[in-house]
Amino acid sequence: MSEAIAKPLARYAAFKRRGDFIFLSGIIAVNPDAGRIVQGYADIPDDVAHQLGRTGEFSVDIREGPIRAQSWYVLDRIRSTLEQAGGSMNDVFKLVQYFRDLRDYPQYSRVRNSFFPNDPPVSTVVEVPAMLPAASILVEVEATAYLPQATGSFA
């Protein structure tokens, strides 16, 4: 299993294939192998942080960095998982997005648009009071993709 694909924090499956559908569990911005939560721009590749809008100004980056970095990390894990299955983000037709604070949605949406520039999936957006494993988790996303078995590699 590639390090870049989604990994569960506990004893549950990160994804399951059922027929031509792939269901991904909720993904948060945490690397369970390193025991590290993505906290901001410093926790993602420099080129990505720049593309997402890192300014180098502490007062700006401290506010926008956490949600943008976590959004990118989560969506990138979804992308990597689907690519290993033989698919792409174009195969995603449904997202459920959970936020600690719905005021973060516009920042997340900006990042999501870079992963779905042409045909965004149907979406559900929910605000929740808390997410595991820590209060610093701002967003969790679950995805459903349609990927006919003839093209995918997951069993």
Farthest-apart Cα atoms in the chain, separation: 50
In the numeric block, the tokens 């590749």 are attached to 45
pLDDT tens string 115-132: 999 999 999 999 999 988
Give the count of beta carbons closer than 10 Å to the beta carbon of residue 20: 14
* Rounded distance between C-alpha atoms, residue 12 and residue 112, angstroms: 26
Whether pLDDT at 104 is above 70 = yes
Set out the domains of the chain in order of their start, with CATH numbers.
18-146 (3.30.1330.40)
Residues 6+ apart with CB under 8 A from 138: 29, 66, 67, 70, 99, 100, 101, 104
Residues 6+ apart with CB under 8 A from 13: 25
* Rounded distance between C-alpha atoms, residue 151 and residue 101, angstroms: 38
pLDDT tens string 48-70: 999 999 999 999 999 999 999 99
Mean pLDDT taken over the chain = 89
In the chain, pLDDT over 70 holds for what percent of residues? 88
47: tokens are: 């080129």
Is the CA virtual torsion 104, 83, 2, 21 positive or negative? positive
What integer is the mean pLDDT of 101-114?
97
pTM given for the model: 0.88
Q: How many CA atoms within 13 Å lie on the side-chain side of 134?
A: 9
Helix then strand then coil, in percent of the chain rounded to 5, is: 35, 25, 40
For residue 68, the SS3 value is: helix
